[in-house]
Structure 1
């Protein structure tokens, strides 16, 4: 049933607001050559065949596959099958809420549990999806075998000497070659944001919604802002949490993120040193030096773990960054660093495995492969050696806890500089006249998508900004702020704009 019709039938005030908003712009017409995709009827079934081994969705969840063209310029050509999940509304339904958890490369099927216990679950079908190339969607991006992934993570780091730079760039080319061999350039060229937002519009229509309701986290905010540019008349409501600023180039974005992680590390260190057993000592001014003393020896040899792989330098850094995504992980980081001081690395290895998608049986999901492939097609490559050298130097300054002290002013060209297909996106300011009012949520101490990016995105979209005071990466429906959740539910259900300047 159409969202506006149902809302008018059940909640008059919300229905009137919805109707007024829908009149702002008509839905975009569906190209005739794509009509068969927009009118398909999904076959819903239990989700057991869609999830990772050991992972389950609630019994009430249903899953289906939705067909989309791999190349929208060739709709009669090869197709992909998107894995989609849903939890049905338990009350008077407004419509569907499509949810993306970020990444890129992260499966979204489990997002159907978000907002449980709130009015959101009563009024919306909550819908998750694995974007093309990701998770249970087919075909999937495939680059490394489990053995190759383990070997790559175990490698000792190389210095930024001429020989080290050459070695690193050779390894990048080998990774790209494996992606081509196992995935193919035809698919790699069509897995970026440009295609995913078109997939999202098909999902919207297949679910029976005249207008999109959307909740996007982190990279999911990039999908949301890009969808708003292409389909401004197809939006009822949109919440973007943990924003990516589409106007930032990859260098500026990486430096802003470096500063964000340093801020998160400093906050953790200030909290840790209050306890006498803190592995970083008792003086926050010495925390970076103490941290580097713990991780620098891993350049030469891994730390011992019960797993025969050991903890490599790269995995230690990955594990630490993973625990800085939220304050709930800070006690675990203290355990991990305490172990490292004792020559052990089990806890940090566990978090590095989590980040890299390594399962208990030694296999991997494809989150890392998909992440690399999608980012390389989404953004222009950084292929100027002078720029790469300056970026490395400035990154070390912005995040001294990540500076191994071995900078030379030069650095390897990164993976995307030799990617086998061209990029399809570019940094730009967003300006979309006639958008309904959207909502951006930004957290002051977010390490991965720093607060200012949310401020900037809200300004470009003309969106309402909700500020969360905290040290976490995203907050909506994570249990971090009831005040944020209440504002988001009210907006999604009743289209009530959050109070101007709302801080939680």
Structure 2
């Protein structure tokens, strides 16, 4: 899934150490089960943590179904107070799963929402359970994560030896996550995050939830609407997901959508005057494949000693296709590779996985990504079915060199110590006020049909279509999209269902 997150990271201690209390929140005081009263009734203490920012820490039960049977967990929040007449709080989540809502608001609130929304709402970002500054998944150190994400098996792709290497790598990762995270690993799932979010709504003093969810953040929002329709305020779900699809359906749909995005990029590139490819779009795809194959035989060495292989370049391609504005960087990367320079390719790949120039990772994004996905979806284990699914995905991928992260991800979930325990089905939210669902026709990460499906499932869903490329319509800056979303949040103006920008 796609990520709408700032990559700069500040430690949570930086927002609390030596900072005097600035404000407290008064919870709503609503009636809840006695076992949950201490969570819904807690008073947050907000402390200064940067320019115009306040930080707080909430507690939540590790297991909502058995609060007293496990330790509590911590959830890190950051708040940017309304700059004008305050209408309430607006929670935002940037997706992933595994992206940091804390970083989004603290480091880049102007990227999350524009000035009109900031004027009307306290904008609150939080790290969901398992993520970042909250009680988090812990698996590997930086060097181990590098090897896990980008190390190439020595055996030839498709051979039993190759599969054995991938499986061993995945098993080592799973074992490390289980050992270093402990029992929390069992409870890092979206349903628990939805219950966390309702508790956070109450402790900041809001009777209804106002929420802006991007990408996977739309899944959190949709499931909130379904579970708490009477607590829904104004909710926008941009880059929407479809709660009814399987993890294989997600993989296949994203593979096809990224293939379409790659072709759109190449058509645009070939139509310009400074494109590193030549001929037709199919010719350009063949040239990319040849480059990937060549790099696996003779990698380019960067100044930090890393070797640029197909795994890094595949990640760079994925990263660049998220946003039409980064297409020129992809062209630059391939032009540099032809000259023996790996700089821009590494820059794109590193930005996707939140890797800093010094080799450290700015977040635990990918570790949380695996932890959440492996519990959120039923996992297929039948070898015959898996082989058929792999063949379908390979047929849909225009590049013969697969993404190593995707390959590992499938195996990781097959080995994960905890499994899906729920139902896959549509969300409804009967009785909820209008929920705005936004889809982009050329979105590679959350394909447009998912937005159509989600808006149809929700009893009060209203679909806004953006005809364009890239992930997250609001992020495009399109005046039509931004105007409709802002008017919905600020004025409560609900557009006609099916409106197109």
Match of 1:346 among 343, 351, 375: 343
Tell whether the 8 Å contact from 2:127 to 2:133 is kept in structure 1 after alignment: yes
Check if 1:142 corresponds to 2:142.
no
Report the counterpart of residue 210 of structure 1 in structure 2: 207
Report the counterpart of residue 224 of structure 1 in structure 2: 221
Q: Encode CA deviations 1:328-372: one digit per residue, 9 max, x unaligned.
A: 100100011111222332211122112222223322221111111
Taking structure 1 as reference, are residues 322 and 117 closer, same or farther at Cα in structure 2, changes over 3 Å only? closer
Report the counterpart of residue 6 of structure 1 in structure 2: none
Alignment of 1:55-94 (within 5 A): 59-76=51-68, 77-94=70-87
Alignment of 1:415-494 (within 5 A): 415-462=412-459, 463-476=461-474, 478-494=475-491
Tell whether the 8 Å contact from 1:197 to 1:227 is kept in structure 2 after alignment: yes
Tell whether the 8 Å contact from 1:46 to 1:63 is kept in structure 2 after alignment: yes
Report the counterpart of residue 105 of structure 1 in structure 2: 98
Taking structure 1 as reference, are residues 405 and 240 closer, same or farther at Cα in structure 2, changes over 3 Å only? closer
Report the counterpart of residue 233 of structure 1 in structure 2: 230
Q: Encode CA deviations 1:389-426: one digit per residue, 9 max, x unaligned.
A: 1222111222213x2399xxx99962111101122344
SS in 1 for 2:431: coil
Tell whether the 8 Å contact from 2:148 to 2:169 is kept in structure 1 after alignment: no
Q: Which runs of 5+ in 2 are unaligned?
A: 1-28
SS in 1 for 2:164: helix
Report the counterpart of residue 36 of structure 1 in structure 2: 38
Give the TM-score, by structure 2 length. Answer: 0.88
Q: CA RMSD in A?
A: 2.0
Tell whether the 8 Å contact from 1:28 to 1:234 is kept in structure 2 after alignment: no
Q: Which runs of 5+ in 1 are unaligned?
A: 1-26, 49-58
SS in 1 for 2:220: helix
Report the counterpart of residue 19 of structure 1 in structure 2: none
Check if 1:360 corresponds to 2:362.
no
Counterpart Cα distance in 1 of 2:229 and 2:374:
26
Taking structure 1 as reference, are residues 288 and 117 closer, same or farther at Cα in structure 2, changes over 3 Å only? closer
Counterpart Cα distance in 2 of 1:412 and 1:150:
15
Counterpart Cα distance in 2 of 1:38 and 1:391:
44
Match of 2:177 among 167, 179, 204: 179
Report the counterpart of residue 271 of structure 1 in structure 2: 268
SS in 2 for 1:414: helix
How far the C-alpha of 1:479 sits from its partner, in A, is 4.5
Counterpart Cα distance in 2 of 1:480 and 1:384:
45
Tell whether the 8 Å contact from 1:166 to 1:412 is kept in structure 2 after alignment: no
Report the counterpart of residue 3 of structure 1 in structure 2: none
Counterpart Cα distance in 2 of 1:28 and 1:412:
41
How far the C-alpha of 1:129 sits from its partner, in A, is 0.6
Taking structure 1 as reference, are residues 392 and 84 closer, same or farther at Cα in structure 2, changes over 3 Å only? same
Give the TM-score, by structure 1 length. Answer: 0.87
Taking structure 1 as reference, are residues 366 and 464 closer, same or farther at Cα in structure 2, changes over 3 Å only? same
Counterpart Cα distance in 2 of 1:326 and 1:228:
29
Tell whether the 8 Å contact from 1:377 to 1:425 is kept in structure 2 after alignment: no
Q: Encode CA deviations 1:141-198: one digit per residue, 9 max, x unaligned.
A: 11111111122244224411112112211211111001011111x1011011011001
Tell whether the 8 Å contact from 1:487 to 1:498 is kept in structure 2 after alignment: yes
Match of 2:383 among 375, 379, 385: 385
SS in 1 for 2:498: coil
Report the counterpart of residue 190 of structure 1 in structure 2: 187
**How many corresponding residue pairs?**
461
Counterpart Cα distance in 1 of 2:268 and 2:410:
37
Report the counterpart of residue 10 of structure 1 in structure 2: none
Counterpart Cα distance in 1 of 2:212 and 2:152:
40
Q: Encode CA deviations 1:193-234: one digit per residue, 9 max, x unaligned.
A: 011001101110111100000100011011011111211111
Alignment of 1:102-181 (within 5 A): 102-112=95-105, 113-114=109-110, 117-138=114-135, 140-157=136-153, 158=155, 159-181=157-179
SS in 1 for 2:300: coil
Counterpart Cα distance in 1 of 2:422 and 2:95:
17
Tell whether the 8 Å contact from 2:227 to 2:429 is kept in structure 1 after alignment: no
How far the C-alpha of 1:305 sits from its partner, in A, is 1.7
Tell whether the 8 Å contact from 2:228 to 2:429 is kept in structure 1 after alignment: no
Q: In proportion to residue count, which structure has more strand?
A: 2
How far the C-alpha of 1:503 sits from its partner, in A, is 1.0
Counterpart Cα distance in 2 of 1:489 and 1:218:
18
